[in-house]
């Protein structure tokens, strides 16, 4: 059920408003004379597809981007934010979809970094007490002494939110806060948002693609499409179907796996594999399973239970401490990522910005990351620029990547368009084994449906697909086999017909005894 507004609460002067905001980027009209306003004490959802303009507006409200036209009003007074420093000074905090943390510093150091009280003598002991009190109040569980580089994506999200709260934010902008969170973490976050609004009078702007999050957590919702506001609704008067219609302008169909398809021969064998994580702790514990050509094995788990280490071990990016990995009847345990790519292993990392792409590179150069070793594109040891240019244009067309041209920088693509490019770059090699780690994380409804369809296309063409996801609906709709993972082991490997959200959810939480691996 959506949050409800008190019956006696009449509309008042908005706490934050944008009037006539227009913003142009090269070749793109990002915002077209947008009017937007937020009432104090609301959780206000901002909904739209990738590239609809919602994040651009939030960056303007936070002083990161300057509008070409229009004005901002805070508590009824016109304001001009020359930088985020000005917005923070006025009580506006923002948690970005991409992390803004210093990886080498501890969680506590990141939270206090940049705070006015850090000037001069820094009392870390006192700061720790204050941050611990915030954690206890809102149910956050974070190791304040851990280095950020040691944290999972979900844990880094909590650090960002705590940093904004510690900075005194009274208007909190959250850009895709649930994109890397598991269902239990989402519940904790939504409960925390309600506590922020109820107990501290914080106003929350919730930028998201997730319709269930909008329905469960917000009072009002504004829908963006192609740089314009197309709907303003009280959440209690909306449905998911109505929101999709406003957001996309049509219905979106999600494909599911064809259960009648025959799987091929065994292609991947993982035998008693163990591996450490970046903290030097055992992340995979004697893990064994097999995967056939033409089937999808869905690995479901709460962040930090070994999923990232599993993907990296299979891609050749992380060594094993014991056990073997066999692919296509060959021991590949100690082969490099390049050698595995050449054998037909494709890898879509969870971190599309930090790992899967280079922001400063053009789209052609990013495509070349998966082809620089391919003889077809390296005649006489030199990159075939014309061939890579042509390939990139084919990928942009086939995967509906919205970009002005193939020489645009990757940093200028929205998350959904960047993921389409990465997906096309990998699938264009027609991998025999596809490792897809959180492939729809942070994507809008249309992009999610597109990526899922491409994974099923790869399965239909005979690829073995290892799908690692924290979206149970995604796991259950795409997988032939479902493997809940807990503390580095598969609790069971279930036929899709044996799996349901309640059973798999319990196993993800470690509430079921381990079963033998397939």
Q: How confident is the model at residue 307 (pLDDT cuts 50, 70, 90)?
A: very high
The larger pLDDT score, comparing residue 481 to residue 8, is at: 481
Q: Which CATH superfamily is domain 1-91+170-251 in?
A: P-loop containing nucleotide triphosphate hydrolases (3.40.50.300)
Question: What's the whole-number mean pLDDT along residues 286-298?
Answer: 95
Q: How confident is the model at residue 212 (pLDDT cuts 50, 70, 90)?
A: confident
Is the pLDDT score of 514 beyond 60? no
Note the pLDDT of residue 509. Answer: 72
The larger pLDDT score, comparing residue 378 to residue 314, is at: 314
Question: What's the whole-number mean pLDDT along residues 278-293?
Answer: 93
Q: Give me the sign of the Cα torsion angle 115, 116, 117, 118.
A: positive
Is the pLDDT score of 36 beyond 90? yes
Q: Do 50 and 416 touch, CB atoms closer than 8 A?
A: yes
Q: Quick check: do 1-91+170-251 and 262-344+434-439+453-518 share a fold? A: yes
Average pLDDT, the chain: 86
Please tell me the number of Cα atoms within 13 Å of 271 on its side-chain side. Answer: 11
Q: Which of 104-113, 243-252, 309-318, 408-417 has the highest mean pLDDT?
A: 309-318
Q: Do 333 and 324 touch, CB atoms closer than 8 A?
A: yes
Burial of 250 (0-12, 13-18, 19+ CB in 10 A): exposed
Q: How confident is the model at residue 153 (pLDDT cuts 50, 70, 90)?
A: low
Note the pLDDT of residue 260. Answer: 60
Structure tokens at 235: 């959440």
Note the pLDDT of residue 515. Answer: 44
Note the pLDDT of residue 483. Answer: 94
Note the pLDDT of residue 437. Answer: 95
d(CA 76, CA 54): 22
H helices of 139-254, in order, are 153-166, 183-200, 211-217, 240-248
Is the pLDDT score of 513 beyond 60? no
Note the pLDDT of residue 259. Answer: 63
Of 41-50, 59-68, 134-143, 434-443, least confident by mean pLDDT is: 134-143
Q: pTM of the prediction?
A: 0.68
Q: How confident is the model at residue 500 (pLDDT cuts 50, 70, 90)?
A: confident
Question: What's the whole-number mean pLDDT along residues 369-375?
Answer: 86
Q: How confident is the model at residue 335 (pLDDT cuts 50, 70, 90)?
A: very high
Note the pLDDT of residue 395. Answer: 93
Is the pLDDT score of 6 beyond 50? no
Distances 477 to 63, 296, 457, 496 between C-alpha atoms, Å: 41, 10, 14, 9
Structure tokens at 28: 């793109």
Of 27-41, 78-92, 372-386, 485-499, least confident by mean pLDDT is: 372-386
Note the pLDDT of residue 199. Answer: 75
The residue extents of the domains of the chain are 1-91+170-251, 99-167, 262-344+434-439+453-518, 350-430
d(CA 110, CA 100): 9
Q: How confident is the model at residue 209 (pLDDT cuts 50, 70, 90)?
A: confident
Note the pLDDT of residue 312. Answer: 96
Note the pLDDT of residue 198. Answer: 80
Q: Which CATH superfamily is domain 262-344+434-439+453-518 in?
A: P-loop containing nucleotide triphosphate hydrolases (3.40.50.300)
Of all residues in the chain, the percent with pLDDT exceeding 90 is: 48
Q: How confident is the model at residue 103 (pLDDT cuts 50, 70, 90)?
A: confident
Q: Which of 40-49, 241-250, 440-449, 493-502 has the highest mean pLDDT?
A: 40-49
> Strand pairing of 16-25 and 69-74?
antiparallel
Structure tokens at 2: 């959506």
**If DSSP codes are grouped into helix, strand and coil, which group holds residue 407?**
coil
Q: How confident is the model at residue 119 (pLDDT cuts 50, 70, 90)?
A: low
Note the pLDDT of residue 8. Answer: 40
Question: What's the whole-number mean pLDDT along residues 360-386?
Answer: 87
Q: How confident is the model at residue 193 (pLDDT cuts 50, 70, 90)?
A: confident
pLDDT in tens, 76-90: 999 999 999 899 989
pLDDT in tens, 171-185: 999 988 876 666 666
């Amino acid at each position: 059920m959506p949050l409800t507004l008190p019956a006696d609460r009449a509309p008042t002067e908005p706490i934050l408003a944008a009037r006539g905001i227009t913003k142009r980027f090269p070749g793109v009209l990002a915002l077209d004379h947008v009017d937007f306003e937020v009432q104090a004490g609301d959780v206000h959802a901002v909904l739209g597809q990738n590239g609809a303009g919602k994040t651009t507006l939030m960056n303007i409200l936070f002083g990161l981007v300057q509008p070409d036209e229009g004005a901002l009003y805070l508590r009824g007074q016109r304001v001009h934010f020359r930088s985020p420093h000005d917005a923070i000074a006025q009580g506006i905090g923002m948690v970005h979809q991409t992390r803004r943390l210093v990886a080498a510093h501890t969680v506590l150091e990141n939270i206090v970094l940049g705070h006015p009280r850090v000037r001069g003598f820094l009392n870390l002991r006192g700061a720790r007490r204050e941050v611990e009190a915030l954690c206890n109040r809102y149910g956050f569980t974070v190791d304040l002494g851990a280095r950020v580089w040691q944290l999972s994506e979900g844990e880094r999200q909590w650090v960002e939110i705590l940093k904004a709260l510690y900075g005194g934010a009274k208007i909190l902008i959250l850009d895709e806060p649930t994109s890397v969170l598991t269902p239990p973490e989402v519940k904790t976050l939504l409960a925390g948002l309600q506590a922020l609004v109820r107990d501290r009078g914080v106003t929350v702007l919730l930028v998201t693609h997730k319709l269930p999050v909008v329905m469960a957590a917000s009072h009002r919702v504004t829908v963006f499409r192609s740089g314009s506001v197309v709907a303003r609704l009280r959440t209690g008067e909306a449905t998911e179907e109505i929101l999709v219609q406003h957001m996309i302008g049509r219905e979106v169909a999600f494909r599911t796996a064809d259960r009648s398809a025959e799987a091929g021969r065994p292609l991947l064998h993982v035998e008693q594999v163990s591996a450490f994580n970046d903290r030097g702790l055992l992340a995979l514990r004697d893990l064994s399973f097999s995967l056939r050509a033409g089937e999808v094995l869905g690995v479901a788990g709460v962040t930090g239970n070994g999923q990232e280490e599993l993907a990296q071990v299979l891609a050749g990016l992380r060594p094993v401490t014991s056990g073997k990995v066999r692919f296509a009847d060959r021991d590949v345990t100690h082969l490099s990522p390049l050698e595995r790519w050449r054998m037909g292993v494709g890898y879509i990392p969870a971190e599309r910005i930090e790992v899967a792409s280079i922001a400063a590179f053009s789209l052609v150069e990013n495509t070349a990351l998966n082809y620089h070793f391919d003889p077809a594109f390296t005649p006489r040891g030199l990159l075939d620029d014309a061939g890579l240019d042509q390939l990139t244009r084919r990928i942009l067309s086939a995967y509906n990547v919205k970009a002005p041209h193939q020489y645009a920088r990757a940093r200028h693509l929205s998350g959904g368009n960047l993921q389409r490019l990465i997906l096309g770059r990998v699938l264009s090699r027609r991998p025999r084994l596809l490792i897809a780690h959180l492939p729809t994380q942070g994507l809008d409804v249309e992009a999610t449906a597109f990526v899922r369809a491409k994974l099923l296309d790869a399965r239909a063409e005979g690829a073995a697909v290892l799908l690692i996801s924290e979206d149970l609906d995604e796991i259950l709709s795409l997988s032939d086999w479902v493997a809940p993972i807990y503390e580095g082991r598969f609790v069971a490997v279930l036929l899709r017909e044996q799996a349901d959200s309640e059973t798999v959810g319990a196993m993800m939480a470690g509430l079921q005894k381990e079963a033998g691996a397939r």
